Amino acid sequence: MKICILLGTRPEIIKMAPVIRACIKKKLDFIVVHSGQHYSYNMDRVFFEELVLPEPNYNLEVGSMPGYAQTAAIIEKFGHVLEIEKPDVVLVEGDTNTVLAGALAAKKLNIKVGHVEAGLRSYDERMPEEWNRILTDHCSDFLFAPTKLQKRILKKEGIKKERIFVTGNTIVDSVLQNIELADTEILKKLDIKKDRYILSTIHRQESVDLKETLAEMLKAFQLIYENFHLPIILPIHPRTKANIEEFRLSVPEGVRIIEPLGFLEFLKLESDAKLIITDSGGIQEESCILRVPCVTMRKSTERPETVEVGANVVAGTEPDKVLDASKKMLASSRSWDNPLGDGNAAKRIIKIITK
């Protein structure tokens, strides 16, 4: 049996790392293909080095381009790789253009598809990721749902229960495998102390590509700093940085913009933060696992379990609402139970595939 693992972005590398390690431990025949959707050192290369992962067997080097063109380019280039390698199954993770393109290319060649993190739904059709995960789910042969909630969603959409497997989320595996390796020097480098700063990330297309929404997010940071006098550490995504400059917006006092970080440095910043404010789906999960309160600057979430256990509040982007949510979460207990898995998701996925 031959497995092909396709990935293309920072979150995919992090979440598929435990699956790659499980393949190595089992001495399975597998290859890793990188689409090149994320292509800078800070956004992708550093994660292979930090997580001690093997070099990808292929890098498609698609780079940055409009979503439709990027999806088409990955389908064509990945299709050629599949014709050469002839794997029995392709594993994809999440909701990016890489994921949908990989699934479509495999199905066109009658190769089975396994979707890791299947069944997530935000029900926000403005998000390109929502269509990517829906379409990928409906052409996959193995749907690895993180929790029973996603299994129910998939069954309601008409997917046969025999194709759905509840495995837990591989991000739990990755956090637990790497938390002891988290880079403690980052706090010294930034001259900050545990529980004396707020960590934030903002990058989503439907957020930062709109001047009004991005301006609201920055105004929310201003209000939060004025109320709590805690520095807001913001590792800047290239898209966010470009749009702040293009829209001629001002970064408010108290916001410290830094370059994107590796996973181990960022994991340490997450674990020691007083509060996390984000529009990222993955960081909602990571903050929940690490028991750090989270405020999500979006109108919806595909991770409702984090809200249900009290780890997260979906606040939208209106500054006053983000401030109110931040006050609520800063006053909250950190005693919630992690609903996302026990750290053995990758082992279950590989066991199912090989069986």
pLDDT attached to residue 87: 98
Does domain 185-330 match CATH 3.40.50.2000? yes
Are 74 and 8 in contact, with CB atoms under 8 Å apart?
Answer: yes
pLDDT attached to residue 180: 86
Q: Which residue has the higher pLDDT, 160 or 46?
A: 160
- Cα separation, 23 vs 20, whole angstroms: 5
pLDDT attached to residue 80: 98
pLDDT attached to residue 51: 87
Q: Which of 41-50, 81-90, 251-260 has the lowest mean pLDDT?
A: 41-50
Do the first three CATH levels of 2-169+341-354 and 185-330 match, i.e. the same topology?
yes
Question: pLDDT for 117-136, tens place per residue?
Answer: 999 999 998 889 999 999 99
Neighbours of 2 (CB within 10 A): 13
80, 203, 229, 237: the catalytic one is 203
Question: pLDDT for 80-116, tens place per residue?
Answer: 999 999 999 999 999 999 999 999 999 999 999 999 9
* β-bridge mates for residue 144, sequence order: 116, 165
2-169+341-354 adopts what CATH topology?
Rossmann fold (3.40.50)
Q: How confident is the model at residue 52 (pLDDT cuts 50, 70, 90)?
A: confident
pLDDT attached to residue 64: 87
pLDDT attached to residue 43: 59
Model confidence at 296: pLDDT above 80: yes
Question: pLDDT for 165-183, tens place per residue?
Answer: 999 999 999 999 999 888 8
Q: Which residue ranges make up each domain of the chain?
A: 2-169+341-354, 185-330
pLDDT attached to residue 41: 54
Can 34 be counted among the known catalytic residues? no
- Cα separation, 17 vs 267, whole angstroms: 15
pTM over 0.85: yes
- Cα separation, 32 vs 48, whole angstroms: 12
